[in-house]
Amino acid sequence: MSFETRALAEKAFEMNAWSVIGKNKATKERKSVEIDVNDFPNFDSMSVDAACSGNPGILEYRGVDTKTGKQSFHQGPFPQGTVNIGEFLAIVHGLAYLQQRNSKIPIYSDSLTARKWVKDKAIKTTLQRTAKNDALFQLVDRALIWLKTHSYENPILTWKTKVWGEIPADFGRK
Q: Are 93 and 61 in contact (CB under 8 A)?
A: yes
pLDDT of residue 98: 98
What does the pLDDT look like over 21-78, one tens digit per residue? 444 433 334 344 455 555 789 999 999 999 999 889 999 999 999 999 999 999 999 9
Looking at domain 42-164, its CATH architecture is: 2-Layer Sandwich (3.30)
Q: Average pLDDT, stretch 73-93?
A: 97
Neighbours of 106 (CB within 10 A): 19
pLDDT of residue 55: 87
Listed in order, strand segments (DSSP E) in 82-172 are 107-109, 156-158
Residue type, 57: G
pTM of the model: 0.80
pLDDT at 111 over 60: yes
Map residue 111 onto helix, strand or coil.
Answer: coil
Could you tell me the residue ranges of all domains in the chain? 6-38, 42-164
What does the pLDDT look like over 126-157, one tens digit per residue? 999 999 999 999 999 999 999 999 999 999 99
> How far, in Å, CA of 122 to CA of 145, rounded?
10
pLDDT of residue 173: 78
> How far, in Å, CA of 169 to CA of 88, rounded?
14
Question: What's phi and psi for 95, nearest 5 deg?
Answer: -60, -45
More confident of the two residues 151 and 173: 151
> How far, in Å, CA of 70 to CA of 137, rounded?
27
Residue type, 150: H
